[in-house]
């Protein structure tokens, strides 16, 4: 993936790409958009749809893309990911250091896809606080909005298996052999997670609502599909409720009636981008229809 450009982004590190427009930033748009992508099926062509969409909405916004690697969420220590994220931290540090006034306050939009993106975004925020080459930076202070795209889910065996199967190569032999081997592998991983030897989706869910990670002020938009086979809508809704009650930030949730995991932009292109544009414009100032009230356990109604 590293050898393929994400037009007009250019590679600045391992699986990290960046674009800075020549035109001056428009205050009504994000100054910087950070995309942390998913795992299974995250081809350059699919990721390009999001880059093109944001370039259409916010032509004067800088875009930072960080793609996810499977070993970084399954086997390698977080220190390896922190090392890889150095170029991304440099971009954010330079951006914060050169911005003034309103741009410093809340003009970064963070878009997180699935659990792979959750892990990358969390470790990016944590590493900004501990990077010995830069002053301590609390990422949450500069976030104007966070979009949770098809996440977070739960820790069930079935969901974990579906997610892992979705990440297998598309060839028939790989699919056949891989799915057979996944059962014992996922079983072992689940056991290690339950005993605390490995990080789990439960840990991700908690960290996403930890004030020390993304702060407490950034507005949140949860985009999810009622038909997602890897992340259940009930788990997304419960996380919305926790974010609202524990952090007190503005929380909006949009339930799409159908669409595959991390495929909402394909099946609901116009509505998808309308929701994002509306969210950024009205973040922190209004409660849009579709918010799941923290006191309600009802099934969400689609905005479409």
Q: Which residues of the chain have pLDDT under 70?
A: 1-5, 74-75, 99-105, 155-200, 284-299, 301-304
- List pLDDT tens digits, range 215-242: 999 999 999 999 998 899 999 999 999 9
My answer on whether 171 and 237 are in the same domain is no
pTM over 0.85: no
Inter-residue contact 216 to 284 (CB < 8 Å): no
Residue with tokens 């014992």: 184
- List pLDDT tens digits, range 181-203: 443 444 334 443 444 434 568 88
Euclidean distance between CA atoms 222 and 228, whole angstroms: 14
Is the residue at 290 inside a domain? Answer: no
Q: How far is CA 188 from CA 71, 158, 185, 197, in A?
A: 16, 14, 5, 11
My answer on whether 172 and 32 are in the same domain is no
* Burial of residue 173, with CB atoms counted within 10 A of its CB: 0-12 exposed, 13-18 middle, 19 or more buried: exposed
CATH number at residue 55: 3.40.50.1820
My answer on whether 250 and 272 are in the same domain is yes
My answer on whether 80 and 135 are in the same domain is yes
Cα angle 149, 87, 76; round to 5: 70
Sign of CA dihedral 289, 293, 296, 302: positive
What is residue 139's DSSP assignment?
G
What is residue 141's DSSP assignment?
G
Inter-residue contact 63 to 16 (CB < 8 Å): no
Euclidean distance between CA atoms 295 and 201, whole angstroms: 24
Q: What pLDDT score does 298 carry?
A: 55
Strand-pairing partners, residue 253, are 222
**Residue span of the structural domain in which 42 resides:** 10-153+200-282
| Closest C-alpha among 81, 87, 63, 154 to residue 121 | 81
């Amino acid at each position: 993936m590293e050898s393929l450009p994400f037009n007009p982004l250019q590679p600045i590190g391992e699986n990290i790409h960046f674009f800075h427009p020549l035109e001056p930033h428009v205050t009504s748009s994000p100054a910087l958009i950070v995309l942390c992508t998913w795992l299974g099926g995250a081809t350059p062509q699919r990721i390009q749809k999001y880059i093109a969409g944001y370039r259409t909405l916010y032509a004067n916004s800088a875009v930072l893309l960080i793609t996810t690697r499977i070993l970084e969420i399954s086997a390698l220590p977080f220190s390896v990911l922190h090392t890889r994220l150095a170029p991304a931290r440099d971009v954010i540090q330079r951006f914060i250091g050169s911005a003034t006034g309103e741009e410093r306050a809340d003009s970064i939009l963070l878009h997180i896809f699935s659990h792979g993106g959750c892990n990358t975004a969390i470790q990016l925020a944590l590493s900004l606080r501990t990077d010995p080459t830069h002053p301590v930076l609390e990422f949450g202070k500069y976030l104007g909005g966070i979009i949770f795209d098809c996440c977070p889910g739960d820790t069930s065996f079935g969901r974990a298996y579906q997610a892992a199967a979705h990440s297998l190569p598309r060839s028939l032999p790989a699919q056949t052999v891989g799915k057979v081997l996944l059962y014992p592998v996922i079983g072992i991983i689940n056991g290690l997670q339950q005993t605390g030897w490995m990080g789990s989706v439960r840990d991700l869910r908690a960290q996403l609502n930890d004030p020390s990670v993304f702060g407490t002020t950034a507005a949140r938009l949860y985009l999810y599909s009622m038909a997602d086979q890897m992340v259940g809508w009930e788990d997304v809704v419960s996380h919305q409720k926790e974010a609202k009650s524990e952090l007190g930030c503005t929380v909006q949730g949009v339930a799409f009636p159908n669409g595959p995991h991390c495929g909402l932009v394909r099946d609901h292109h116009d509505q998808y981008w309308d929701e994002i544009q509306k969210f950024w414009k009205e973040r922190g100032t209004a409660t849009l229809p579709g918010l799941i009230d923290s006191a309600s356990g009802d099934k969400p109604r689609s905005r479409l």
